[in-house]
Amino acid sequence: MAARADHHRDVAAQFRSLAAIEPSDSLRQYLQRIAQRHDELAAGFEHRDPAVTRGILTWASGTRLWPSGWMRPAENN
């Protein structure tokens, strides 16, 4: 589980780096929210709380966070 937590921390750092150089406010906020979600995933893996991790993974696979800040169900392709 530690490897997964490290991976999600690295991904969060990459999104924060992108957000730091993004001139568009809305896109910068969107990138920061993605980074925050990866931090939450990492925390779930670090604490080895299957319920929290499962809930976040369910959220991540079932919805998409749009730049406007609200969530829509993922489209079935």
**Are 56 and 44 contacting, i.e. CB atoms less than 8 angstroms apart?**
yes
Paired tokens of 55: 């809930």
Q: Distance between CA 33 and CA 65 in Å, rounded? A: 8
Q: Is residue 31 part of a domain?
A: yes
Paired tokens of 23: 């001139």
Residue range(s) defining the domain that contains residue 38:
2-70
Comparing 56 with 6, the larger pLDDT belongs to 6
Q: What residues have CB less than 8 Å from 76, skipping those under 6 apart?
A: none
Report the pLDDT value the prediction gives residue 64, as an integer from 0 to 100.
Answer: 52
pTM of the model: 0.61
Q: Is residue 17 part of a domain?
A: yes
Q: Is residue 27 part of a domain?
A: yes
For 12-24, the pLDDT digits (tens) are 999 999 999 999 9
Report the pLDDT value the prediction gives residue 3, as an integer from 0 to 100.
Answer: 84
For the chain, the domain total comes to 1
Q: What residues have CB less than 8 Å from 47, skipping those under 6 apart?
A: none
Classify residue 69 by its DSSP letter.
Answer: S
Q: Is residue 75 part of a domain?
A: no
